Amino acid sequence: MDDKHKNLPSSLPYRDDGNAQTIYSQNPPPIELKRALAVQMSQHGQSYRTIHDILQVSLGFISASCQRYERSGIQGLRSNYWGTAGYLSAEQKQELFRWLDGQDAWTLEEVIDPIEDRYGVVYQSLQSYYALLKSAEFSWKKTQPAHPDKDDQQIQEKLKFRMFGYGYALL
């Protein structure tokens, strides 16, 4: 073991004590498990390159994991990110979904405006609006009963051409 890691304790929260059930029962998030394994492997004298090859993580990840462990112990290996709170509350989403359900047709812009006007929420990307609509099982690609520029005569002529062009006969 190199001097850098000689003071690190060899007991980590995810150590393999010979019983695989111990590791599985703790069920840590994959990133935490990789951090713990990287530190443990480093403590046992594995080179960063070997750890990199086995765990498929960057050399910086290994170094940062060891530093986190040195600084904060086991808690330093835990993930601090728990996500962000949504912009709209569940009640606001339900109100919006009821309003949209009552509309015959709408465009994405007609969805964005009420969200901003009623709730003061502006999402940073259109993808957030798409995800919101998808969560309500709405499609932002709402169909129309008929194409507004539909020309029945042109359609019939194309159909005749296609039928004869592919060897079909009119009945």
User: Could you report the per-residue pLDDT of 62-100, keeping only the tens digit for each?
Assistant: 999 999 888 888 778 887 755 556 688 889 999 988 888
| pLDDT tens per residue across span 128-165 | 888 888 888 876 665 556 665 677 787 777 776 655 55
Q: 6-11 long-range CB contacts below 8 Å, 24 or more apart? A: 7/70, 8/39, 8/42, 8/43, 8/66, 8/69, 8/70, 10/40, 10/43, 10/44
Q: 106-109 long-range CB contacts below 8 Å, 24 or more apart? A: 106/142, 108/140
Torsion of CA 34, 36, 42, 44, to 10 degrees: -120
Using the predicted structure, report yes or no on whether residue 53 has a pLDDT greater than 60. yes
pLDDT for the residue 125: 84
pLDDT for the residue 51: 94
Q: Please tell me the pTM assigned to this model.
A: 0.40
What percentage of residues in the chain have a pLDDT greater than 70? 67
Q: At what angle do helices 126-135 and 108-119 cross, to 10 degrees?
A: 90
Query: Of 8, 7, 25, 4, whose CA–CA distance to 16 is shortest?
Result: 25
Residue with the larger pLDDT of the pair 47 and 72: 47
